């Protein structure tokens, strides 16, 4: 019996022998190798189309907002600008910063230098997300995405009376999601332990520099260019940012906090093999079902399971390999958590309500 089989809170693969765990990992590696070795012109055409769609949507959206005093122009402009921001953050920015397009050697798609349309500096995002979250996925006490420092999302998190209010302030986080992301890497809980005020001040300077540029662009420069239509353009830009924030929040939370998603403890990381890491990614993630356009708008994070298994694989390939990953789950009798957006989002809300109360009620996966 392997080490993880003996861990009571990890039920998803206790039935597997050590040999079966490693065999599962080898089959996942084989899928990755096959896809990564086949990258080519088809993938290049895909990302070029997405880049053009995003840019033209922004140009058209901002242009129409200059005519925002006409309701149809305002609605169309706001919708196109919202689309542009969603595509840039989800399908382009997030995926570029994971290094998914570094193989192209295109400076505009270089993970080391890309700066996205968001208040969070890219370097800080890559530390809190690419390293902390993807390395320690759903490990309570290590993965700060478990509750984002303000929500209780696991029975392993100690309860405090402030969590009684989380069903309300959860929606504040959703509406201001890019600002929550911007402050996420500050890690105030480390102050006085292994982080100094000097480090925090440096991070705050970087956040101020980035967020100031974003605020000036959306709430001063473009509205000012609209002249008499200042307020219409201002309102359109604010609405587009809100739409992008709410969409990103919904997609991300549905990928991590649905019913059946497992949480882990730090002691379970001791001696973790690559195959066991794959299993943790699988059991700590959930997918969303939908059509091609839906998957693109989520940045293919609707395939959160595949993203956690292969974070540096071009995300549009996830739909292609999803059935193969699901078949492996059936072969090894492992759960493959997937469902519609309304269903998955409903279970996220249930978790938020449940965890607001002392003790909570364990999910089916950890009961």
| Per-residue pLDDT at 164 | 97
Would you say residue 11 has pLDDT above 70? no
Enter the pTM of the model.
Answer: 0.92
Would you say residue 335 has pLDDT above 80? yes
| Per-residue pLDDT at 360 | 55
| Per-residue pLDDT at 123 | 95
144 by Cβ neighbours in 10 Å (0-12 / 13-18 / 19+) ranks as: middle
**Cα(303)–Cα(27) distance, integer angstroms:** 18
241-281: pLDDT as tens digits: 999 999 999 999 999 999 999 999 888 888 899 999 999 99
Average pLDDT estimate for 205-213: 96
Domain locations along the chain: 3-355
Strand-pairing partners, residue 195, are 191
CA 114 to mean position of chain CA atoms: 17
> Is 160:290 a contact under the CB 8 Å cutoff?
no
* % of the chain with per-residue pLDDT over 70: 95
H/E stretch holding 221: none
| Per-residue pLDDT at 59 | 98
| Per-residue pLDDT at 193 | 83
Half-sphere exposure for 246 (CA within 13 Å, toward CB): 10
Average pLDDT estimate for 208-230: 96
């Amino acid at each position: 019996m392997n080490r993880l089989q003996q861990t009571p809170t990890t039920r998803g693969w206790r039935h597997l022998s050590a040999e079966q765990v490693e065999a599962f990992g080898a089959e996942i590696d084989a899928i990755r190798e096959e896809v990564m070795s086949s990258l080519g012109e088809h993938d290049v055409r895909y990302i070029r189309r997405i880049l053009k769609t995003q840019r033209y949507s922004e140009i058209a959206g901002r242009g129409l907002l200059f005519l925002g005093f006409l309701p149809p122009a305002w609605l169309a402009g706001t919708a196109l600008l919202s689309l542009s921001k969603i595509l840039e953050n989800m399908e382009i920015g997030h995926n570029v910063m994971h290094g998914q397009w570094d193989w192209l050697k295109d400076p505009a798609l270089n993970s080391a230098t890309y700066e996205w349309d968001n208040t969070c500096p890219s370097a800080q995002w890559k530390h809190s997300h690419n390293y902390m979250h993807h390395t320690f996925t759903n490990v309570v006490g290590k993965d700060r995405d478990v509750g984002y420092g303000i929500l209780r999302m696991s029975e392993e998190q100690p309860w405090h009376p402030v969590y009684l209010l989380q069903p309300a302030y959860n929606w504040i986080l959703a509406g201001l999601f890019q600002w929550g992301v911007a402050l996420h890497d500050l890690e105030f809980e480390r102050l006085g332990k292994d982080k100094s005020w000097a480090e925090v001040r440096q991070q705050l300077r970087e956040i101020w520099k980035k967020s100031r540029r974003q605020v000036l662009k959306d709430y001063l420069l473009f509205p000012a260019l609209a002249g008499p239509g200042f307020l219409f353009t201002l309102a359109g830009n604010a609405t587009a940012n809100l739409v992008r924030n709410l969409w990103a929040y919904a997609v991300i939370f549905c990928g991590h906090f649905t019913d059946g998603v497992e949480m882990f403890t730090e002691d379970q990381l001791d001696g973790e093999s690559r195959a066991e890491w794959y299993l943790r990614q699988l059991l700590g993630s959930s997918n969303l079902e939908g059509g091609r356009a839906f998957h693109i708008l989520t940045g293919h994070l609707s395939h959160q399971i595949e993203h956690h298994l292969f974070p540096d694989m071009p995300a549009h390939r996830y739909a292609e390999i999803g059935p193969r990953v699901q078949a492996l789950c059936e072969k090894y009798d492992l759960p493959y958590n997937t469902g519609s957006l309304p269903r998955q989002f409903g279970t996220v809300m249930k978790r938020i309500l449940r965890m607001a109360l002392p003790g909570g009620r364990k999910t089916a996966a950890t009961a």
